[in-house]
Protein backbone atom coordinates (compact mmCIF):
# COMPACT_ATOMS: atom_id res chain seq x y z
CA UNK A 1 0.00 0.00 0.00
CA UNK A 2 1.30 3.44 -0.81
CA UNK A 3 0.47 6.76 0.76
CA UNK A 4 -1.75 7.79 -2.15
CA UNK A 5 -4.44 5.31 -1.17
CA UNK A 6 -4.10 6.21 2.51
CA UNK A 7 -4.58 9.93 1.99
CA UNK A 8 -7.29 9.54 -0.64
CA UNK A 9 -10.01 9.58 2.01
CA UNK A 10 -10.32 11.04 5.49
CA UNK A 11 -12.55 8.17 6.58
CA UNK A 12 -13.00 4.61 5.36
CA UNK A 13 -15.91 2.37 6.27
CA UNK A 14 -14.34 -1.05 6.00
CA UNK A 15 -15.16 -4.66 6.77
CA UNK A 16 -13.49 -5.64 10.01
CA UNK A 17 -10.50 -7.84 9.06
CA UNK A 18 -10.33 -9.51 12.47
CA UNK A 19 -13.34 -11.72 11.79
CA UNK A 20 -13.83 -12.73 8.16
CA UNK A 21 -16.56 -15.26 8.93
CA UNK A 22 -18.80 -12.76 10.76
CA UNK A 23 -18.85 -9.55 8.74
CA UNK A 24 -18.47 -6.47 10.89
CA UNK A 25 -18.15 -2.87 9.81
CA UNK A 26 -15.67 -0.56 11.44
CA UNK A 27 -14.70 3.02 10.77
CA UNK A 28 -11.08 3.77 9.92
CA UNK A 29 -10.24 7.47 10.09
CA UNK A 30 -7.01 9.25 9.24
CA UNK A 31 -8.36 12.01 11.47
CA UNK A 32 -7.74 9.77 14.49
CA UNK A 33 -4.00 9.98 13.83
CA UNK A 34 -4.18 13.69 13.08
CA UNK A 35 -5.88 14.30 16.41
CA UNK A 36 -3.14 12.41 18.25
CA UNK A 37 -0.46 14.38 16.40
CA UNK A 38 -2.06 17.74 17.21
CA UNK A 39 -2.33 16.77 20.87
CA UNK A 40 1.27 15.54 21.17
CA UNK A 41 3.26 17.70 18.74
CA UNK A 42 4.63 19.99 21.47
CA UNK A 43 5.28 17.17 23.97
CA UNK A 44 8.78 15.91 24.71
CA UNK A 45 7.46 12.37 25.23
CA UNK A 46 4.95 11.12 22.66
CA UNK A 47 2.83 8.00 22.30
CA UNK A 48 3.09 8.29 18.50
CA UNK A 49 6.58 9.68 17.73
CA UNK A 50 6.46 8.60 14.06
CA UNK A 51 3.67 11.06 13.22
CA UNK A 52 4.73 14.38 11.72
CA UNK A 53 3.42 17.16 9.51
CA UNK A 54 5.00 15.55 6.45
CA UNK A 55 3.59 12.10 7.27
CA UNK A 56 0.01 13.33 7.76
CA UNK A 57 -0.05 16.17 5.23
CA UNK A 58 2.29 15.07 2.40
CA UNK A 59 2.81 16.96 -0.84
CA UNK A 60 1.81 15.29 -4.12
CA UNK A 61 5.11 13.49 -4.78
CA UNK A 62 5.56 12.69 -1.09
CA UNK A 63 2.40 10.58 -1.24
CA UNK A 64 4.47 8.02 -3.17
CA UNK A 65 7.11 7.87 -0.42
CA UNK A 66 7.07 4.40 1.14
CA UNK A 67 8.83 5.53 4.32
CA UNK A 68 6.14 8.12 5.00
CA UNK A 69 3.45 5.47 4.54
CA UNK A 70 5.29 3.15 6.92
CA UNK A 71 5.25 5.89 9.54
CA UNK A 72 1.46 5.71 9.44
CA UNK A 73 1.41 1.91 9.65
CA UNK A 74 3.64 1.77 12.73
CA UNK A 75 3.33 -0.13 16.00
CA UNK A 76 3.54 3.06 18.05
CA UNK A 77 0.48 4.47 16.29
CA UNK A 78 -1.48 1.32 17.06
CA UNK A 79 -0.52 1.59 20.74
CA UNK A 80 -1.43 5.29 20.78
CA UNK A 81 -4.86 4.56 19.29
CA UNK A 82 -5.44 1.86 21.91
CA UNK A 83 -4.50 4.39 24.59
CA UNK A 84 -6.98 6.91 23.18
CA UNK A 85 -9.73 4.29 23.27
CA UNK A 86 -8.88 2.87 26.69
CA UNK A 87 -7.94 5.98 28.65
CA UNK A 88 -10.07 8.61 26.92
CA UNK A 89 -12.97 6.53 25.64
CA UNK A 90 -12.54 7.63 22.03
CA UNK A 91 -13.78 5.58 19.07
CA UNK A 92 -10.36 4.77 17.65
CA UNK A 93 -10.31 0.95 17.74
CA UNK A 94 -11.44 0.65 14.11
CA UNK A 95 -8.38 2.61 12.98
CA UNK A 96 -6.13 0.61 15.32
CA UNK A 97 -7.44 -2.70 13.98
CA UNK A 98 -6.96 -1.56 10.38
CA UNK A 99 -3.33 -0.63 11.07
CA UNK A 100 -2.73 -3.89 12.96
CA UNK A 101 -3.81 -6.03 10.01
CA UNK A 102 -1.41 -4.32 7.62
CA UNK A 103 1.38 -4.53 10.20
CA UNK A 104 0.87 -8.31 10.39
CA UNK A 105 0.83 -8.58 6.59
CA UNK A 106 3.98 -6.47 6.33
CA UNK A 107 5.79 -8.56 8.95
CA UNK A 108 4.89 -11.83 7.23
CA UNK A 109 5.93 -10.85 3.70
CA UNK A 110 9.20 -9.18 4.74
CA UNK A 111 10.90 -12.09 6.50
CA UNK A 112 14.36 -12.44 4.95
CA UNK A 113 16.14 -14.16 7.85
CA UNK A 114 14.97 -17.34 9.58
CA UNK A 115 16.04 -15.93 12.98
CA UNK A 116 13.95 -12.75 12.69
CA UNK A 117 10.90 -14.06 14.52
CA UNK A 118 12.98 -15.39 17.39
CA UNK A 119 14.95 -12.15 17.66
CA UNK A 120 11.88 -9.90 17.63
CA UNK A 121 9.71 -12.38 19.57
CA UNK A 122 7.04 -11.91 16.90
CA UNK A 123 5.26 -15.06 15.64
CA UNK A 124 4.41 -13.29 12.36
CA UNK A 125 8.13 -12.84 11.64
CA UNK A 126 8.91 -16.56 11.67
CA UNK A 127 9.75 -18.20 8.31
CA UNK A 128 7.00 -20.26 6.70
CA UNK A 129 7.39 -23.92 7.64
CA UNK A 130 3.91 -25.29 6.89
CA UNK A 131 0.72 -24.36 5.04
CA UNK A 132 -1.31 -24.36 8.26
CA UNK A 133 1.08 -22.06 10.13
CA UNK A 134 -0.39 -18.96 11.80
CA UNK A 135 1.14 -16.67 9.16
CA UNK A 136 -0.39 -18.66 6.29
CA UNK A 137 -3.79 -18.78 7.99
CA UNK A 138 -3.62 -15.00 8.30
CA UNK A 139 -2.62 -14.49 4.65
CA UNK A 140 -5.55 -16.60 3.46
CA UNK A 141 -8.01 -14.71 5.66
CA UNK A 142 -6.44 -11.40 4.65
CA UNK A 143 -6.94 -12.25 0.98
CA UNK A 144 -10.57 -13.25 1.60
CA UNK A 145 -11.08 -9.97 3.46
CA UNK A 146 -9.66 -7.95 0.55
CA UNK A 147 -11.95 -9.70 -1.93
CA UNK A 148 -15.00 -9.30 0.32
CA UNK A 149 -14.25 -5.64 1.00
CA UNK A 150 -13.77 -4.90 -2.69
CA UNK A 151 -16.98 -6.70 -3.69
CA UNK A 152 -19.12 -4.99 -1.06
CA UNK A 153 -17.67 -1.53 -1.73
CA UNK A 154 -18.80 -1.91 -5.36
CA UNK A 155 -22.42 -2.66 -4.43
CA UNK A 156 -25.17 -0.09 -5.10
CA UNK A 157 -26.18 2.00 -2.09
CA UNK A 158 -29.56 0.24 -1.72
CA UNK A 159 -27.92 -3.18 -1.68
CA UNK A 160 -25.41 -1.99 0.89
CA UNK A 161 -28.27 -0.87 3.15
CA UNK A 162 -29.89 -4.31 2.85
CA UNK A 163 -26.65 -5.85 4.12
CA UNK A 164 -26.42 -3.37 6.97
CA UNK A 165 -23.56 -1.42 5.37
CA UNK A 166 -24.38 2.24 5.88
CA UNK A 167 -23.05 5.03 3.70
CA UNK A 168 -21.02 4.76 0.52
CA UNK A 169 -18.19 2.84 2.15
CA UNK A 170 -14.48 3.36 1.62
CA UNK A 171 -12.11 1.44 -0.58
CA UNK A 172 -8.54 1.34 -1.77
CA UNK A 173 -7.55 2.78 -5.11
CA UNK A 174 -8.10 0.34 -7.97
CA UNK A 175 -4.35 -0.06 -8.50
CA UNK A 176 -3.60 -0.63 -4.81
CA UNK A 177 -6.47 -3.10 -4.45
CA UNK A 178 -5.28 -5.16 -7.42
CA UNK A 179 -1.63 -5.08 -6.34
CA UNK A 180 -2.39 -6.09 -2.76
CA UNK A 181 -4.72 -8.92 -3.79
CA UNK A 182 -2.37 -10.15 -6.51
CA UNK A 183 0.69 -10.07 -4.24
CA UNK A 184 -1.08 -11.84 -1.38
CA UNK A 185 -2.57 -14.56 -3.59
CA UNK A 186 0.73 -15.05 -5.42
CA UNK A 187 2.64 -15.56 -2.16
CA UNK A 188 0.03 -18.06 -0.96
CA UNK A 189 0.30 -19.98 -4.26
CA UNK A 190 4.11 -19.88 -4.13
CA UNK A 191 4.16 -21.38 -0.64
CA UNK A 192 1.65 -24.08 -1.63
CA UNK A 193 3.62 -24.98 -4.76
CA UNK A 194 7.06 -25.04 -3.12
CA UNK A 195 5.76 -27.01 -0.13
CA UNK A 196 4.17 -29.60 -2.41
CA UNK A 197 6.98 -29.94 -4.94
CA UNK A 198 10.13 -29.46 -2.86
CA UNK A 199 9.28 -29.86 0.86
CA UNK A 200 11.79 -27.23 2.08
CA UNK A 201 12.68 -26.75 5.76
CA UNK A 202 11.35 -23.19 5.58
CA UNK A 203 10.41 -20.43 3.12
CA UNK A 204 11.42 -16.76 3.44
CA UNK A 205 8.72 -14.67 1.77
CA UNK A 206 10.92 -11.56 1.99
CA UNK A 207 13.07 -13.03 -0.77
CA UNK A 208 10.20 -12.71 -3.27
CA UNK A 209 10.31 -8.95 -3.83
CA UNK A 210 11.57 -6.24 -6.17
CA UNK A 211 13.94 -4.27 -3.92
CA UNK A 212 16.91 -4.89 -6.23
CA UNK A 213 14.95 -3.69 -9.25
CA UNK A 214 13.75 -0.60 -7.38
CA UNK A 215 17.33 0.13 -6.28
CA UNK A 216 18.44 0.03 -9.93
CA UNK A 217 15.74 2.53 -10.92
CA UNK A 218 16.82 4.74 -8.02
CA UNK A 219 20.32 4.78 -9.54
CA UNK A 220 18.87 5.83 -12.89
CA UNK A 221 16.84 8.52 -11.13
CA UNK A 222 19.96 9.96 -9.52
CA UNK A 223 21.77 9.84 -12.86
CA UNK A 224 18.91 11.94 -14.27
CA UNK A 225 19.58 14.70 -11.78
CA UNK A 226 17.49 13.29 -8.95
CA UNK A 227 14.24 13.88 -10.83
CA UNK A 228 11.30 11.78 -9.67
CA UNK A 229 10.32 10.91 -13.25
CA UNK A 230 13.26 9.36 -15.07
CA UNK A 231 13.76 10.66 -18.61
Q: Quick check: pTM over 0.85?
A: no
What separation in angstroms does the CA of 96 have from each of 90, 129, 160, 191, 217? 12, 29, 24, 29, 34
Give the best-scoring range by mean pLDDT among 7-21, 167-181, 199-213: 199-213
Provide the 8-state DSSP code for 198. Answer: T
Stretch 103-132: mean pLDDT: 95
pLDDT of residue 228: 65
Burial class from Cβ neighbours inside 10 Å (0-12, 13-18, 19+) for residue 213 reads: exposed
Question: DSSP 3-state assignment of 192?
Answer: helix
User: How high does pLDDT run on average in the chain?
Assistant: 84
Question: DSSP 3-state assignment of 225?
Answer: coil
CB atoms within 10 A of CB 230: 13
Question: DSSP 3-state assignment of 208?
Answer: coil
pLDDT of residue 71: 95
Residues 185 and 207: their CA atoms lie apart, in Å, by: 16
User: Would the pLDDT of 24 be above 90?
Assistant: no
pLDDT digit string, tens, across residues 65-104: 889 999 999 999 999 999 999 888 898 998 999 999 999 9
pLDDT of residue 161: 67
User: Would the pLDDT of 4 be above 70?
Assistant: no
CB atoms within 10 A of CB 176: 16
Amino acid sequence: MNAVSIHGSEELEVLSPSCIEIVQVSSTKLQDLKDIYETEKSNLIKNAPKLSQKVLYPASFEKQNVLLALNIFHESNSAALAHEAGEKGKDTMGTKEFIDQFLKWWNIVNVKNYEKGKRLKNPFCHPIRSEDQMSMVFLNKFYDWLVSWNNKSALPLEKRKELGLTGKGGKLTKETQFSLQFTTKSLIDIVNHISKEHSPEYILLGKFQTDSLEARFEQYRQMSGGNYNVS
